[in-house]
Chain A
Amino acid sequence: METAVFYVLATIAVASAVLLVLFRNPVYSALSLVATLFAVAGLFVLLNAYFLAAVQIIVYAGAVMVLFLFVIMLLNLGHSEALESTVGRYRLTGVIFLCALLVAQLTAVGTRQLRGPVAENEALRTENVQTLGKLLYTDFLFPFEVASIILLVALIGVVVLVKRETPETT
């Protein structure tokens, strides 16, 4: 069962990743990326990594993708006629999402015991969120802090690149 689900999810992930590259319309590409992200979330569920799956859907498939679509539409990268003529295709993509979500949910309900991952990882065995939180603040405290500096630098970088220059420097 898990093997079958794995192959279904993996096929969806890879196929939509390929489509992402092949589509000419950036909106399609963005949407197939969503499909990939959902399928990967399903794979996380298969590995009992529920927290990761939830984060994947909320952060990537949700927030990041909305941002992508906003940018694409603000810059008007997708030609408007292409957008109008392909509303029908949205439904197809929608069906794919739905299938992915369905599969993800089914597997979440249906699978209990899986062959252990190669790397015995505590976070995957017990209470996901607690273990993850504990690990982040003990073993991985240092990388966690470094990540926060990276975010700070990225934030400053954005300000540097878009800040209006003061009159006397122009």
Chain B
Amino acid sequence: MFEIDWNILLPSLVVAGLVLVVLCVDIIRPDNKGGVSGYLSLLGVGVAIWVSLSLWGRSPTHGLGGMLFLDNYALFFNLIILAGTGLTIFVSTGFLEREEGGRSEYYLLILAATLGMMLMAAGADLIVIFLGIELMSIALYILVGFFRRRTDSNEGSMKYLLLGAFATGFLLYGIALVYGSTGTTNLREIELAVAQGRVYTHPMLLGGVALLIVGFAFKVSAVPFHMWAPDVYQGAPTAITGFMSAGPKAAAFAAFFRVMVASLGDLSGDWSGAIWMLAALTMTVGNLGALSQRNIKRMLAYSSVAHAGYVLVALVAANERGIAGGVFYLLAYAFMNIGAFAVIVALGRKGDENLEISGYAGVGFRHPGIGLAMTLFMVSLAGLPPTAGFFGKFQIFSAAVEAGYIWLTVIGVLNSLVSVYFYLGVVVSMYMRQPVGQAHAVSMTPFARVALLTASLGTLYIGLAPTSLLQMARQTVSALL
């Protein structure tokens, strides 16, 4: 038997307990329509954030039979994931009442997905990472199809499930091949086996690494494994689309970075070329795809593909600055993207979600606050100063230059320029187009206002005063290199 260090388990335990509490509340008060569960979930997420912060800065440990890490890297991702979850719950309260009448399973599933993500960020064993991915994915499949009466919601859920199951197969086969060649699924022991050359056959290991890359690339929606993203993002309930683009993407990158850099870092000569191609393709296809979109959710889906490409650049660089930059960028992305989706939720109405970009004409004058917030998020997504997006991209690209990947940086910067066109297209539509038809009253719940305000302030704060957060991001790197 092993001693259980409860600190290692604590953040996940809080969220797991929260899942069960919310489940019980649902049974005791089935008529609460998710109201009580929503407040409870928020409270619990707050506690989990506090726990993660209080564990910050300790020397890295691992435990539970070598299954979980407790290090700054995992804790930083916990913060990203929990921030995403918290903001999503804030956005969801009014949204659920408006759209279909809330059910508290909604919050339970969000929390279960959150638990899965935290396990992905903290997993010290491929098995735990795999189980975390599955826990997150199963909850997301259901959340995407949560609006059962809508065909696009069902379609998105079905596509996501089928392609997700397919990708899971790749991931699992990759894990099996890595296990077959190194004799272990433990990340630290894989690192040792690779470093000491205790590998059964090298081609088998490389085959495993290739399949792992395919599996992870699907989860982060990198080209050419991105085909699900536009349909799923469009079909999912809008609040869930925002949720999916922040936390799950960050968690998938957390596991991806940890596996590739910490465990398989000695093989970087073999895999960095493949990731280079993935990064270049993902940025280019994502941004070019977003150019022609008329539907804002679809446009943001392609944009999220493109942003996965930027973070992959950080993985190619795989140096201290790159990893810190990637981690930092994922935090910034969570705030700006959920913020953008909060605006979309706010501008929708029951039965008419108002998703055409042309429908945003005049919003800037009718609803100055919302217009200003949306402008901020779009500018940040485009990567213009003084926002969070600019600083994150700057970190990543300078890391790539430092590591000598000049061409990849050039491709990335050119892509950023392209992206300015479609992000600012939304702003142009809001401020410079004549609105057609009646103005609609926008009713935001206080919670949705808080979410929008938090996301805006977060985006601004990260852009204007990035030093302390960047310092935190730098402290995570030692877990990997």
A and B associate in one complex: yes
Listed in ascending order, the chain A residues whose CB lies under 8 Å from chain B are 118-120, 138-143, 146-147, 149-150, 153-154, 156-157, 159-161, 165, 168-169
Q: Contact between A161 and B142 (Cβ–Cβ < 8 Å)? A: yes
Interchain CB contact (< 8 A) of B183 among A119, A154, A161: A119
| In the complex, B138 has a CB within 8 A of chain A | yes
Residues in B with CB closer than 8 Å to A159 are 105
B372 at interface by CB-CB < 8 Å: no
B-chain residues with CB within 8 Å of residue A157 when the two chains form the complex:
109, 138-139, 141-142
Chain B residues in 8 Å Cβ range of A142? 64-65, 67-68, 128
B125 contacts partner chain A, Cβ-Cβ < 8 Å: yes
With both beta carbons as reference points, the residue of chain B lying nearest to A168 in the complex is identified as B101
Q: How far is the CB of A134 from chain B (nearest CB, A)?
A: 10
Residue from the list A118, A143, A156, A165 in contact with B105, Cβ < 8 A? A156
A119 touches which of B68, B139, B141, B184 (Cβ 8 Å):
B184
Query: Which A residue's beta carbon lies closest to that of B26?
Result: A156
Kindly report which residue of chain A lies nearest to residue B201, judged by CB atoms: A118
Query: Which residues in B have their C-beta under 8 angstroms from that of A161?
Result: 142, 145, 148
In the complex, B108 has a CB within 8 A of chain A? yes
| A138 near B105: Cβ-Cβ < 8 Å | no
**Complex Cα spacing A150 to B137, Å:** 10
Q: Does B146 contact A (CB under 8 A)?
A: yes
A118-B181, A160-B109, A161-B145 known; A139 vs B135 contact (CB < 8 Å): no
Instruction: Please list 18 pairs of residues, one from A and one from B, whose beta carbons are closer than 8 Å in the complex, sorted by A's number.
Output: A118-B180, A118-B181, A119-B183, A140-B67, A141-B65, A142-B65, A143-B67, A149-B135, A150-B131, A153-B135, A153-B139, A154-B138, A156-B23, A157-B138, A157-B142, A168-B101, A169-B100, A169-B101
User: Once the chains bind, are B131 and A160 in contact (CB under 8 Å)?
Assistant: no
Distance of A153 Cα from B33 Cα, bound (Å): 19
Is B83 located at the chain interface by the 8 A CB criterion?
no
A160 with B64, Cβ < 8 A, contacts A119-B179, A119-B184, A153-B112 known: no
Question: Shortest distance in angstroms between A78's beta carbon and chain B's nearest beta carbon?
Answer: 21
- Not counting A138-B1, A160-B105, a sample of 16 additional A-B residue pairs whose C-beta atoms are within 8 angstroms of each other reads A118-B180, A119-B179, A119-B182, A140-B65, A140-B67, A142-B64, A142-B65, A146-B119, A149-B112, A153-B139, A156-B109, A157-B109, A159-B105, A160-B103, A160-B146, A169-B101
Closest chain A residue to B179, Cβ basis: A119
- B134 near A: Cβ within 8 Å? yes
Q: Give me the interface of B with A, judged by CB distance under 8 Å.
A: 1-2, 16, 19, 23, 33, 64-68, 100-101, 103, 105, 108-109, 112, 115, 119, 125, 127-128, 131-132, 134-135, 138-139, 141-142, 145-146, 148, 179-184, 200
- C-alpha spacing A149/B459, complex, angstroms: 34
List B contacts of A154 (CB < 8 A): 138
Q: Is the CB of B101 within 8 A of A153?
A: no
Partner of A143, one of B19, B112, B115, B127: B127
A123–chain B nearest beta-carbon distance, Å: 13
Which A residue's beta carbon lies closest to that of B154? A161
Q: Within the complex, what minimum Cβ distance (angstroms) separates A45 from chain B?
A: 18
Q: How far is the CB of B212 from chain A (nearest CB, A)?
A: 17
- Residue on A with the closest CB to B30? A166
Q: Which residues of A lie under 8 Å from residue B19 when comparing CB positions?
A: 149, 153
Which residue on chain A has the smallest CB distance to residue B135?
A150
Which residues of chain A come closer than 8 Å to B181, judged between CB atoms? 118
Task: Determine the residue in chain B with the shortest Cβ distance to A139.
Answer: B65
Interface of B is mostly: helix
Contact of A153 among B66, B109, B183 (CB under 8 A): B109
Contact pick for B2, options A118, A119, A138, A153, CB 8 Å: A138
Query: Which 6 interchain pairs have the tightest Cβ spacing?
Result: A169-B101, A119-B183, A157-B142, A142-B67, A139-B65, A142-B64
By beta carbon, the residue of chain A nearest B1 is A138
B61 to chain A minimum Cβ distance, whole angstroms, is 15
With beta carbons under 8 angstroms apart, the residue of B16, B115, B119, B183 that contacts A118 is: B183
Of A118, A147, A169, chain B has the most CB atoms within 10 Å of the CB of: A118
Residues of A within 8 A of B23 (CB): 156
Residue of A nearest to B100 (CB): A169
A141 to B125, CA, bound (A): 13
Per the bound structure, the CA–CA distance linking A120 and B132 in Å amounts to 26
Distance in angstroms between the alpha carbons of A168 and B127 in the assembled complex: 44
Query: Chain B residues with Cβ under 8 A from A120's Cβ?
Result: 183
Question: Roughly how many angstroms separate A168 CA and B30 CA in the complex, as a whole number?
Answer: 13
A169 to B146, CA, bound (A): 14
Residue of A nearest to B8 (CB): A142
Contact at B101–A156, with CB atoms within 8 Å?
no
Residues of chain A contacted by B132 (CB below 8 angstroms): 146
Given A118-B180, A141-B65, A147 contacting B131 (CB threshold 8 A): yes
Q: How far is the CA of A160 from the CA of B240 in the complex (A)?
A: 16
Shortest CB–CB separation between residue A114 and chain B, in angstroms? 16
CB distance from A145 to the nearest CB of B (A): 9
Best-buried of A139, A146, A147, A160 by chain B (most CB within 10 Å): A146
Measured CA separation A156–B146 after assembly (Å) = 12
A107 to B103, CA, bound (A): 54
CA A149 – CA B179 in complex, angstroms? 25
Tell me the complex Cα distance, A21–B112, Å. 34
Contact of B115 with A149 in the complex, beta carbons under 8 Å? yes
Inside 8 A of A168's CB, which chain B residues have their CB? 101
Residues in A with CB closer than 8 Å to B101 are 165, 168-169
Q: Taking A157-B141, A157-B142, A168-B101 as contacts, is the C-beta distance between A141 and B183 under 8 angstroms?
A: no
In the complex, chain A residues whose CB is within 8 Å of the CB of B119? 146
- B33: chain A residues at CB < 8 Å are 169
Return chain A residues, CB-CB under 8 Å to B125: 143
B65: A residues at CB distance < 8 A: 138-142
Task: A140 to B471: give the CA distance in the assembly, Å.
Answer: 35
Judging by beta carbons under 8 Å apart, are B64 and A119 in contact?
no
Name B128's contact: one of A118, A143, A149, A153 (CB within 8 Å).
Answer: A143
Within the complex, the shortest CB–CB distance from A26 to chain B, in Å, comes to 16
